[in-house]
Amino acid sequence: MAALTPLLKARGLKRHFGGVKAVDGVGLDLGPTGVHALIGPNGAGKSTLVGLLSGRITADAGIIEFAGRDITRLPAHARVRLGIAYTFQVTSIYPRLSVEDNVTLAVRHPSGDVTTAARAALARVGLDIHARQIAGDLSYGHQRLLELAMGLALTPRLLILDEPTQGLAAGEIAGFSALVRDVARDASVLLIEHNMDVVMDLADRITVLDFGRVLASGTPDAIRKDRAVQAAYLGA
């Protein structure tokens, strides 16, 4: 069976900040569906790589292709229109607006039916009953779900989740994991996550960064057994 053509393909990505090689020749393939986790120690270059993929940081070198198109120099807002959605490590909601208004502001829906798209996204994450509530009054876990709804309302082909379980209770993590599995049936999910139980449970493939370079990439089982990864990150 032939391998699926990657939805996103990155080759030779570099971004240096002075003498710091935050990302130093990274390559990455993301399939059209499924969950690909990005892990590594603090300072490994994960946030910089995500910035490069989302268009929030400009690459010094390398190429990024999305659905066969070169997007290396495309700004972030243009990548969103192509189907790349990104949720932040720290919640970025509008705390004084209603839950529904938060999602409505995020939507650039091709049908023009913004309200329908917003309500569908809220229902998908279980926040439809809170649609009229002020976003800042939500619990932290619900605020994280609201940000996820803001991403889902864009009907993304690629959803980038940056530390989405940070601050969530165990029960909230279980619900989040079920939601990600559902999303990954029809879209590609790039998961940046420190919770290794979540990573090993959700990921189809894992890429490990260390000092701005790819240390290893493979299935969860292969990554778990990789001695270089154990020494650098897993602590085994």
pLDDT in tens, 63-95: 999 999 999 999 999 999 999 998 865 567 889
Q: What is the mean pLDDT of residues 146-174?
A: 89
> From CA 232, how far away is CA 230, in angstroms rounded?
6
Residue 221 included in any domain: yes
Residue 5 included in any domain: no
The model carries a pTM of 0.90
Q: Of 30-34, 118-122, 171-175, 204-208, where does mean pLDDT reach its minimum?
A: 171-175
Residue 88: per-residue pLDDT: 66
Residue 185 included in any domain: yes
Domain count, the chain: 1
Residue 171 included in any domain: yes
CATH number of the domain that 200 lies in?
Answer: 3.40.50.300
**Tokens 């490990």 sit on residue:** 208
Domain that holds residue 203: 33-48+85-234
Residue 145 included in any domain: yes
| pLDDT score of 169 more than 50 | yes
> What SS3 state is found at 14?
strand
Residue 56 included in any domain: no
> Comparing C-alpha atoms, which of 74, 67, 61 is closest to residue 27?
61
Residue 53 included in any domain: no
Of the pLDDT bands very low, low, confident and very high (cuts 50, 70, 90), residue 2 is: very low
